[in-house]
């Protein structure tokens, strides 16, 4: 067990160093860039290893799987300070549980989902932080707002009472070439600046994963979502429908 712990904490340290170096290279403050550890398909023990190495924010894609891990970790470590982020596709019948069990939702891809999260957020919890997912490459396989409808929807969503619109999120098409990665990530930054210019107080740009972390930092990301470079490769690609009904 202890060399698994070593591995996750060493990997985490490496990722932190990459963020630091990438930030330095473009004169950004490393502290302005938050790291979200994406723990989908990984067991609760792995999350706890990362927690012990100082990581507090964890991202999950599959509701049922995540709720089980949350319950397990709360039972073993009551009062732990994990901040849970939901980053997976959202079916509307899952919004209530998401509103109850996550502090952040990065994958809000339509108005109706935002309305439901706001309505269903428990009264005793602070507003849920949300990012709007943008379908940058107009891929049929991906959800998200199109760039042209974004501003209008962002305005409406920012007025919902029990959520705080924090910014934008994207999962660009995988590209291996740095300049190509940069170009597509910069489009999300441009859109974020349009929202800011329209008076929306957004401060979070959720972009950058294991293989485009450096490009994302260069393009202005404030929140990186890193999975495999922290927890190791995922054994199987879960089926795209995500949760069982």
Ligand X SMILES: *Cc1c(COP(=O)(O)O)cnc(C)c1O
Q: Is there a contact between 207 and 192 (Cβ–Cβ < 8 Å)? A: no
- Taking the least distance from each CB to ligand X, the nearer of 119 and 137 is 137
State which residue, 42 or 121, has the beta carbon closest to ligand X. 42
Whole-number Å distance between alpha carbons of 110 and 126: 22
Q: State which residue, 164 or 210, has the beta carbon closest to ligand X.
A: 210
Interatomic CA distance for residues 241 and 124, integer angstroms? 32
CB atoms within 10 A of CB 146: 11
As measured in angstroms, the least distance from the Cβ of 141 to ligand X is 13
* Chain contacts with ligand X (rule: CB under 6 A): 38, 40, 61, 87, 171, 209-211, 225-229
Min dist. Cβ of residue 17 to ligand X (A): 16
Residues whose CB is less than 8 angstroms from the CB of residue 241 and which lie 6 or more positions away in sequence, other chains included: none
Q: Smallest distance from the beta carbon of 158 to ligand X, in angstroms?
A: 22
61 vs 192 by CB, closer to ligand X: 61
Burial class (CB in 10 A: 0-12, 13-18, 19+), 62: buried
Q: Is 59 helix (H, G, I), strand (E, B) or coil?
A: strand
Closer by beta carbon to ligand X, 76 or else 220: 220
Cβ-based nearer residue to ligand X, 23 or 159: 23
CA dihedral 96, 130, 225, 6 (to 10 degrees): -60
Q: Which residue is nearest to ligand X (CB)?
A: 227
In the complex, minimum distance from the CB of residue 232 to ligand X, in angstroms, rounded to a whole number: 9
Report, in Å, the least distance between residue 165 CB and ligand X.
Answer: 18
Task: Give least dist CB 27 to ligand X, A.
Answer: 25
Q: Report yes or no: 67 and 88 within 8 Å, Cβ to Cβ.
A: no
What tokens were used for 237? 């690609």
Provide the 3-class DSSP secondary structure of residue 225.
strand
Cα angle value 164/202/20 (rounded, 5°):
115
Q: CB of 115 within 8 A of CB of 99?
A: no
Q: How far is the CB of 227 from ligand X (least distance, A)?
A: 3
Instruction: Give whichever of 172 and 220 is closer to ligand X, judged by the CB atom.
Output: 172
């Amino acid at each position: 067990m202890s060399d698994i712990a070593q591995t996750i904490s060493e990997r985490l340290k490496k990722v932190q160093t990459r963020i630091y170096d990438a930030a330095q290279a473009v004169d950004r403050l490393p502290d302005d860039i938050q790291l979200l550890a994406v723990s989908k398909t990984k067991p609760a023990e792995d999350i706890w290893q990362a927690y012990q190495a100082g990581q507090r924010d964890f991202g999950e894609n599959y509701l049922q799987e995540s709720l089980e891990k949350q319950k397990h970790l709360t039972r073993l470590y009551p009062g732990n300070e994990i901040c849970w982020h939901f980053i997976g596709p959202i079916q509307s019948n899952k919004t209530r549980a998401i509103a109850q069990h996550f502090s952040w939702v990065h994958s809000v891809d339509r108005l109706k989902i935002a309305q439901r999260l706001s309505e269903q957020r428990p009264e005793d919890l602070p507003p849920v932080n949300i990012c709007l997912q943008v379908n940058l490459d107009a891929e049929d396989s991906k959800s998200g707002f199109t760039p042209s409808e974004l501003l209008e929807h962002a305005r409406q969503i920012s007025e919902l009472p029990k959520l705080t619109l924090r910014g934008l999120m994207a999962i660009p098409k995988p590209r291996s070439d740095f300049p190509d990665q940069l170009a597509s990530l910069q489009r999300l930054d441009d859109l974020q600046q349009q929202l800011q210019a329209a008076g929306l107080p957004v401060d979070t740009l959720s972009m950058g994963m294991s293989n485009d972390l450096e490009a994302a930092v260069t393009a202005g990301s404030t929140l990186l979502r890193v999975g495999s470079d922290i927890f190791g490769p995922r054994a199987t690609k879960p089926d795209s429908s995500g949760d069982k009904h």
